[in-house]
Chains A and B, each alone.
Chain A
Amino acid sequence: MSSSVALLCLQATEDGRAIAQAIKEDNEGVIITNKPAMIQIEREGRIEVNASTVSEVLGREWDPEELQLVLISLGGQVEEDDEQFVVYWDN
């Protein structure tokens, strides 16, 4: 059981909003807050960004590497591969 909160801040752009939408679909209980020019995403323990879901929402191929184009900040450790970007705490 984790008590620490994983965090992602994304730019409020078209891609950023699509990624937030995909995160909402794949991460139960996630809290998404709109701030000036940015989207703040928090969830206890971990947040998963799945390339397949983002691709579906965007209507084009999307590579987890592209997250760096809209990522402002994060809280947590990171695991990235070809399918997924995960930010998580190990406690």
Chain B
Amino acid sequence: MSINQRKKRLNKKEQYKYMTRLGWDPTYQKSEDVYPYLKMEGIKIHDWEAWEDPFRMTMDSYWKLQAEKDKKLYSIIDAFAQNNAQKNISDARYVNALKLFLTGVTPLEYKVVQGFSHVARAFRGEGASIACQMQAIDELRHFQTQVHTMSHYNKYFDGFHDYAKAHDRVWYLSVPKSFGDDASTAGPFEFLTAISFSFEFVLTSLLFVPFMSGAAYNGDMATVTFGFSAQSDESRHMTLGLSAIKFILEQDPDNVPIVQEWMDKWLWRGYRLLGLVAMMMDYMLPNSPTSWAESVELYIEQNCIALYKDLERYGIELPTDTINTIIAEKGHLSHQVWNIFYNHTNAAAFHTWMPDEEKMNWLSEKYPDTFDKYYRPMFERYIELEKKGERFYSETLPIICQTCQIPLGFTDIEGGNPHVYTHETSEFNGEKFHFCSKGCKHVFEKQPEKYTQAWLPPHQIFQGNCGGATIPEVLKWYKIENGVDNLDYVGSPDEAMWNKLKNN
């Protein structure tokens, strides 16, 4: 059968070599003019060829695998819609976590598309550039599949109608927005450190894995499928990010302190952003498979520390202060963030509620040192007020952190006073700025010119840039329908719709 004998195929290494080394050296333009951002951050690269994709991904295998992933995903989304599977979720409260995801996280994916497209153009090495292009396409896929998956819920529930505008305007969404803006206005090497390393490697698992597993636990197979489909790309991104960081560190010892500062900054910024996820996991999932504290133990105390240990040989040090803060806060974070949102749901694009007795018991069990002592009594007080018809909504605008844009609602946990609110301040050009934490103050003080430009929702509201100064005026500008998209879950049109769905 010699006629059918196939030619021996190239092995992965050879194939990668032939399929990715497609660049050229500029001859009639100066290299600095073609790659204008390579030097601005002080990073020195001597040999771009030294970076190689650890997966040795080439475009042909990339398209094949991604097409397979998408085919699987869309067949599950179709089945979900055909079977009216929104009826099979644990409870309609769950849908509010998806609203937060669609308005908070999905637009971030799009920011990352822009960032990686820029980085792909800015980098000199073809291997690195191609990997960044593929990642940009991945992130676009994540953005699209998330919007497609959740569009099904939009047929039944409120709050999904204008996620893009919401992301640009609504006060708490300035938290993810400022994170994405900060990263994508940095130079190419800082962007890579921020997203590939700190966000992808250290934090995406915290975001996607327990939350998506939680979606499965609450009967939402459509969401778990997009989550895992996206996260399988993320695990490739994590590996690329780590190898890119090692490459930068190996190229020149002068790169080490610069990269260290970025790693510290972005670990903190990413962690603060995930405060939203802490609350989603512990409060917004009716059935929670894993607590925020348990996730911190696996992904920060185990994984993140192992990761830094691997980088010690390059001169990188574990940011001990940050890690200690994360560990100290792990028993408090989700409760404090939920408290902030419960008080401000009158201006949010989703509903909140107080945990029922069963949920409170779960929280006591998962947080034996903190929940009963600090948070259960507070929540029981809120429930008493609700019963008397005096459900409390804050009518004032919070002071928010100049760096992370989270309201100053955290307490002095590390100082041993978890019941006392605390914050930090700093002065720049004769003006005073406020921060939620030492970490955010530190980030600000390294680059005050950047963060003084932050678009802070309360300031903008008072300056008359958000439709007016009263809550109804601002809500209108947000495109949030008062009494429909916001306020308590109990008594909302969502609740009514859910009851109707369940009784048919």
Contact = CB atoms under 8 A, between A and B. Distances in A.
Residue with the greatest number of chain A CB neighbours at <10 A, chosen from B11, B238, B313: B238
Given A65-B61, A82-B11, A72 B216 contact: no
B303 A7 contact: yes
A76 B306 contact: yes
B228 interface: yes
B216 A37 contact: yes
A56 interface: no
A69 B471 CA distance: 47
A73 B224 CA distance: 14
A14 interface: no
Interface stretch (B112-120, B207-215, B276-284, B445-453): B207-215
A20 interface: no
Contact of B310 (A37, A79, A80, A91): A91
Interface in A67-91: 68-82, 89-91
A91 B234 contact: no
Contacts of A90: 310, 313
B310 A77 contact: yes
A11 interface: yes
Contact of A70 (B217, B232, B313): B232
Contacts of B61: 65
A76 B13 CA distance: 22
Majority-rule SS of B interface residues: helix
A9 interface: yes
A5 interface: yes
Interface residues of A, number: 29
Interface string B301-325: 0110111011011000000000000
Interface in B222-249: 224, 228, 231-232, 234-236, 238-239, 242-243
Contacts of B290: 35
Contacts, number: 101
Residue with the greatest number of chain A CB neighbours at <10 A, chosen from B228, B242, B313: B228
B235 A35 contact: no
A91 B298 CA distance: 18
A90 to B, nearest CB: 5
B310 A74 contact: no
A31 to B, nearest CB: 12
A30 interface: no
B50 interface: no
28 contacts: A5-B303, A5-B306, A35-B289, A35-B290, A36-B217, A37-B224, A37-B228, A38-B209, A65-B65, A69-B69, A69-B232, A72-B212, A72-B235, A73-B208, A73-B209, A74-B235, A75-B302, A75-B303, A75-B307, A76-B306, A77-B310, A78-B55, A80-B12, A80-B54, A82-B11, A90-B310, A91-B310, A91-B312
Given A77-B243, A81-B12, A91-B310, 6 more contacts: A68-B232, A73-B209, A73-B231, A74-B235, A89-B306, A91-B312
